[in-house]
């Protein structure tokens, strides 16, 4: 029984089975991850996107809230070859449309060849192909979501581990995964999660040891307030960034970013460290990349396409990574990044004391 439709750019409509009802639109992307569907679905970086899973069965180990990366599902809709009842029920509760029983291999090949594309999704009783096309017609390009940070950032500052023995970290929340804060807290840091549009006055009052720009959705050029913080404090406060954070920092410091054809989304992206030659397996979720590092040095690259995966500056005390070193979901090859950035703070403190 057909009771769902996905309309793609070019007005092609694909039939499917409804698993969670609703009507929506967004940028159609895919992930190659075969585990970690709970973490992926609660990753704020998927805001305004329709997530297609290339792995054929999603939900085979249930749904557990302790694995969530935020307090809600962020993709506008979910597409899979087959969704279990557990996941379908969860998405229904979250009011996120979901469809299955379609050829996701063909969808993924289309995205790889044509790029991430706008789409419309309708699921439920009495929906028609024209309904999906109507949603597609209203779909906005990702770069046009100029205030997407407001959809994923905290409204007010939140402090964790206030009595921690480590550095004080100002985590600029552009759509941060919870495991980033957890990774810092586990190392003794006090973490102040701040809105993406935090002012310089708030930073001055807090006087953190480290400014950390998080991951997040959309075009890094649309995060003007975050960029202003980077411009003000680069070279003054040690700075780190993950994913969107790397892009915003590079963009601000004389570099540039660009949209990728279909991005990197999965848990097996190989990254080469240019100093050691070591290849790390990484978790990634991004549709934009740094095309010009500006004042920063490229220290790691993607093995598949040579895009920058790590940017550093000893002079400015900056370390950024395009991938997700917190590794939820995914391999733990890169967890040492958090030790490196906290060590950067300790080194600066030692120099200041001397």
Q: For this structure, is 243 an active site residue?
A: yes
CATH architecture of 149-353: 3-Layer(aba) Sandwich (3.40)
Q: Is 323 annotated as a binding residue?
A: no
Q: For this structure, is 326 an active site residue?
A: yes
Q: Can you tell me whether residue 289 is helix, strand or coil?
A: strand
pLDDT recorded at residue 327: 87
The model's pTM is 0.96
| Residue 349 φ then ψ, to 5° | -65, -40
Q: 239, 318 in Cβ contact below 8 A?
A: yes
Among the listed residues 47, 94, 135, 326, the single catalytic one is 326
The domain 4-140: what is its CATH number? Answer: 3.50.30.20
pLDDT per residue rounded down to tens, the chain (354 residues): 569 999 999 999 999 999 999 999 999 999 999 999 999 999 999 999 999 999 999 999 999 999 999 999 999 999 999 999 999 999 999 999 999 999 999 999 999 999 999 999 999 999 999 999 999 999 999 999 999 999 999 999 999 999 999 999 999 999 999 999 999 999 999 999 999 999 999 999 999 999 999 999 999 999 999 999 999 999 999 999 999 999 999 999 999 999 999 999 999 999 999 999 999 999 999 999 999 999 999 999 999 999 999 999 999 999 999 999 998 888 899 999 999 999 999 876 655 554
If you write DSSP's letter for every residue of 112-129 in order, what string do you get?
HHH-SEEEEEEESTT--H
Q: Is 288 annotated as a binding residue?
A: yes
Q: Can the peptide bond before residue 217 be classed as cis, meaning omega within 30 degrees of 0?
A: no
Q: Is 287 annotated as a binding residue?
A: yes
Per-domain residue ranges for the chain? 4-140, 149-353
Q: Is 244 annotated as a binding residue?
A: yes
Among the listed residues 69, 174, 243, 309, the single catalytic one is 243
């Amino acid at each position: 029984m057909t009771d769902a439709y996905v309309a793609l750019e070019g007005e092609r409509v694909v039939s499917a089975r409804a698993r969670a009802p609703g009507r929506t639109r967004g940028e159609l992307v895919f992930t190659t991850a075969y585990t970690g569907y709970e973490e992926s679905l609660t990753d704020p970086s998927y805001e305004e996107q329709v997530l297609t899973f290339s792995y054929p069965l999603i939900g085979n180990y249930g749904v557990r809230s302790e694995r969530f990366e935020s307090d809600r599902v962020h993709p506008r809709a979910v597409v899979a070859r087959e969704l279990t009842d557990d996941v379908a029920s969860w998405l229904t509760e979250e009011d996120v449309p979901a469809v299955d029983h379609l050829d996701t291999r063909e969808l993924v090949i289309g995205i790889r060849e044509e790029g991430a594309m706008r789409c419309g999704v309708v699921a439920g009783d009495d929906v028609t192909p024209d309904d999906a096309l109507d949603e597609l017609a209203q779909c906005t390009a990702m770069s046009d979501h100029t205030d997407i940070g407001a959809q994923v950032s905290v409204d007010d500052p939140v402090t964790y581990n206030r009595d921690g023995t480590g550095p004080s970290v100002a985590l600029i929340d552009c759509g941060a995964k919870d495991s980033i804060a957890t990774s810092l807290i586990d190392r003794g840091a006090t973490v102040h999660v701040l809105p993406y549009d935090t002012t310089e006055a708030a930073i001055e009052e807090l006087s953190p040891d480290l400014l950390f720009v998080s991951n997040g959705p959309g075009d890094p050029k649309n995060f003007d307030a975050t960029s202003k913080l980077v411009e003000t404090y680069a070279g003054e406060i040690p700075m780190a960034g993950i994913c969107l954070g790397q892009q915003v920092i590079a963009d601000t410091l004389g570099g540039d970013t660009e949209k990728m054809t279909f991005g990197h989304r999965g848990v097996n992206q190989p990254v080469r460290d240019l100093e050691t030659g070591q290849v790390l397996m990484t978790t990634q979720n991004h549709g934009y990349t740094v095309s010009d590092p500006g004042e920063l040095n490229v220290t790691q690259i993607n093995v598949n396409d040579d895009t920058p995966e790590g940017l550093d500056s000893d002079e400015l005390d900056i370390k950024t990574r395009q991938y997700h070193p917190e590794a939820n979901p995914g391999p733990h090859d890169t967890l040492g990044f958090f030790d490196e950035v906290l060590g950067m703070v300790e080194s600066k403190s030692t120099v200041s004391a001397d």
